[in-house]
């Protein structure tokens, strides 16, 4: 649905193989910008109502209802409003937004323009991480092409609606993927999270109401406006309509980016889309949701990709990253990698995150070195719970997800690494 543009499932693949740059003409040949032409002749509120009826939710991880967020911005008395596309994509193992901007940039720009018309914004920004220089170049060229064609800028398509888009390059901070830290960064301040409320929809960029959505979210809008809410709800499930881009990596035969309908099980993603395990291996664990996601065993893979189902099973969909591990992988090494990542990316503003990650990293290092005791595993869980409950922002709250989930399902591996572990002693006896 999303990556197929409008009609042909092979169109994106032909685009990536045969065209150096995705052209506006190519996008329009598949119905691109028809949704905008249709919308600009009607009431902007119709866009919000259609998206709400379709059940579109944010694809950046929070899954907040898109129509509701737009309505919150539109309801403000302040006339100056902004639309920001969050393209920071710093979640390890996630590469969906890069694909969208590289292959269907005009679909993203049309979605942003529709969103701006809906909320009454005249200015938009795409916040792109600086590690994506080629993507930034593609988006700049696409903005220029759309502007030259009268699809951006003043009096778009001859209507009394103007909207301009600029690129803002991030400086490499994972934390700036959090919307309030992103705003601080754009305002020239330290990229640190702000206290909420007020929310960006009320008090955003330079104190003005601001709509912030992920790349994948905005890229869905034109398709929904063009085909309608009923069509969108024919995909996926009643609880979670539509599709989701999944960044599949690890020990699978076919790693890559896949668009799957909601309702697909994680096992189907691995077996049918990913071609199963490479070299005949077996699944030991799967990391779902990126570094801030959870680590689950094979028996949890029959869970469907649905917000309610995943919530009931304690699985975070997040940005859609799925990393598959075979039996040769160490759970401790995997979790240690994630803790070190968050320790490096933490801004250090709040004690639970700053000190909790430091202590968690120290204990896991001792476990890997075979120097820890069983009591330290209990402390590891205690520190992680404190982070989840008391950290200031989403980074600290989610940083312990892989730790807690791996302790839940693979605690034996932690305990076997301890000096005073009975299992470790018995294993030594058998070896001797």
Instruction: Kindly report the CATH number assigned to the domain that includes residue 104.
Output: 3.40.50.11540
Distance CA 109, CA 161 (A): 15
- The pLDDT tens digits for 403-416 are 999 999 999 999 99
Is 408 part of any domain? yes
Query: Per-residue pLDDT for 10 more than 60?
Result: no
The enclosing domain of 347 has a CATH number of 1.20.1440.230
pLDDT of residue 431 exceeding 60, the answer is no
Q: Is the pLDDT of residue 68 over 70?
A: yes
Task: Tell how strand 321-326 and strand 283-288 pair up.
Answer: antiparallel
Asked whether the predicted pLDDT for residue 273 surpasses 60, the reply is yes
Any domain includes 3:
no
Domain count, the chain: 3
Query: Among 166-170, 193-197, 395-399, which is the least confidently predicted range?
Result: 395-399
Do 90 and 217 fall into the same domain?
yes
> Given this model, what pLDDT does residue 278 score?
92
**Per the domain annotation, does 1 fall within a domain?**
no
Q: Report residue 17's pLDDT band, with 50, 70 and 90 as the boundaries.
A: very low
Are 52 and 200 in the same domain? yes
Quote the mean pLDDT of the chain.
Answer: 91
Q: What is the pLDDT of residues 296-352, one digit of tens each?
A: 999 999 999 999 999 999 999 988 999 999 999 999 999 999 999 999 998 888 999
The pTM (predicted TM-score) of the whole model is 0.91
| Whether residues 286 and 378 fall in one domain | no
Task: Report pLDDT digits (tens) over 195-228.
Answer: 899 999 999 999 999 999 999 999 999 999 999 9
238 class by beta-carbon count within 10 Å (0-12 exposed, 13-18 middle, 19+ buried): exposed
Domain encompassing residue 87: 11-233
CATH number at residue 271: 3.10.20.600
Of 189, 221, 184, the residue nearest 38 (C-alpha): 221
Quick one: DSSP state of residue 252? B
pLDDT value at 427 more than 80? no
Residue 2 is predicted with a pLDDT of 58
Measured CA to CA, the distance from residue 368 to residue 331 in angstroms comes to 10
CA distance 382 to 390: 12
DSSP for 298-315, written as a single string: GGGTTSBS-HHHHHHTT-
The pLDDT assigned to 426 comes to: 53
User: Could you give the dihedral angle defined by the CA atoms of residues 230, 235, 241 and 247, in that order, rounded to the nearest 10 degrees?
Assistant: -140
What CA–CA distance (Å, rounded) separates 39 from 136? 28
Q: Is the pLDDT of residue 381 over 90?
A: yes
| Residue 2 resides in a domain | no
Residue entry with tokens 């690494």:
417
User: Which tens digits make up the pLDDT trace of 79-126?
Assistant: 999 999 999 998 999 999 999 999 999 999 999 999 999 999 999 999
Domain end, chosen from 233, 254, 288, is at 233
SS3 call for 84: strand
């Amino acid at each position: 649905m999303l990556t197929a543009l409008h009609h042909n499932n092979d169109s994106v693949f032909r685009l990536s193989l045969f065209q150096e740059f995705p052209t506006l003409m190519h996008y329009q040949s598949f119905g691109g910008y028809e949704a905008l032409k249709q919308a600009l002749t009607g009431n902007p509120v119709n866009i919000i109502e259609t998206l709400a009826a379709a059940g579109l939710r944010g694809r950046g991880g929070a899954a907040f209802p898109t129509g509701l967020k737009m309505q919150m911005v539109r309801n403000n008395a302040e006339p100056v409003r902004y639309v920001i596309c969050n393209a920071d994509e710093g979640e390890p193992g996630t590469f969906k937004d890069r694909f969208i901007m590289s292959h269907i940039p005009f679909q993203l720009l049309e979605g942003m323009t529709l969103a701006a018309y809906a909320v009454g914004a005249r200015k938009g920004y795409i916040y792109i991480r600086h590690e994506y220089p080629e993507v930034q170049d593609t988006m700049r060229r696409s903005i220029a092409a759309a502007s030259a064609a009268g699809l951006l800028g003043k009096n778009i398509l001859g209507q009394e609606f103007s909207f301009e888009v600029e690129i803002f390059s991030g400086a490499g901070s994972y934390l700036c993927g959090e919307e309030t830290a992103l705003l601080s960064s754009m305002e020239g301040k330290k990229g640190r999270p702000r206290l909420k409320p007020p929310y960006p929809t009320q008090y955003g960029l330079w104190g003005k109401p601001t709509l912030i959505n992920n790349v994948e979210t905005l890229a869905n809008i034109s398709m929904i406006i063009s085909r309608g809410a009923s069509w969108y709800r024919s995909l996926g499930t009643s609880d979670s309509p539509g599709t989701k881009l999944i960044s599949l990596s690890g020990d699978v035969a076919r790693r890559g980016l896949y668009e799957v309908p909601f309702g697909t099980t994680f096992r189907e993603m691995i077996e049918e889309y990913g071609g199963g395990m490479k070299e005949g291996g077996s699944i030991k664990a799967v990391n779902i949701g990126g570094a801030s996601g959870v680590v689950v065993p094979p028996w949890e893979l029959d869970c469907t990709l649905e917000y309610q189902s995943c919530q009931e099973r304690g699985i975070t969909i997040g940005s859609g990253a799925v990393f598959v591990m075979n039996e040769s992988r160490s759970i401790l090494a995997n979790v240690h990698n994630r803790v070190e990542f968050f320790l490096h990316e933490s801004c250090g503003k709040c004690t639970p995150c700053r000190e909790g990650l430091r202590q968690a990293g120290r204990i896991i290092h001792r476990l890997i070195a075979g120097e820890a005791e069983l009591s330290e595993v209990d402390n590891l869980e205690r520190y992680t719970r404190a982070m989840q409950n008391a950290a200031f922002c989403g980074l600290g709250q989610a940083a312990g997800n892989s730790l807690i989930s791996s302790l839940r399902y693979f605690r034996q591996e932690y305990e076997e690494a301890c000096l005073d572990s009975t299992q470790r002693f018995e294993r030594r006896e058998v070896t001797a």
